[in-house]
Amino acid sequence: MMKLALVTLTVFLLNIPFGYWRANVRKFSMQWILAIHIPVLVIIALRMYTDLGFAWHTYVFMVAAFFLGQKAGSFISEWMRSRYGLVGSFLFCDLICLKKSGQ
C-alpha cells in the first residue's frame, strides 16, 4: 500500500509542470497533446519499475493523481498570469525568471 501511495504522489507531482505547459498552449495543438501524453509514458514505466503492475484498484489512484496534477498545473499557470502578467509555457523557467527579477 505504501508503494501505491508513493507512486500516486509521484504521478501527481510529475503532472504539475505538464498541466502548466498544457494551460499555456493552444487546445488540441501538438504541444497540448504532448503535455497530456508524455506523462502517461513515464507513468507506465514507473508502474513497471516499481512492480506496482496494472491491477484494477490502482487505476482509481493513478487517474485521480494524473488529472489533479494537470489541474494543479493549470491553476498555477492562471494564478501566475493574474499575478505577474504574461508567463511562458515552462514552469521551472518562469519561476527562475521571477526569482531573478525579484518579484
**Considering the entire predicted model, what is its pTM?**
0.90
Domain boundaries, the chain: 2-101
CB neighbour list of residue 80: distance below 8 Å, 6 or more residues apart: 87, 94, 98
Q: What is the pLDDT of residues 72-100, one digit of tens each?
A: 999 999 999 998 887 888 888 888 888 88
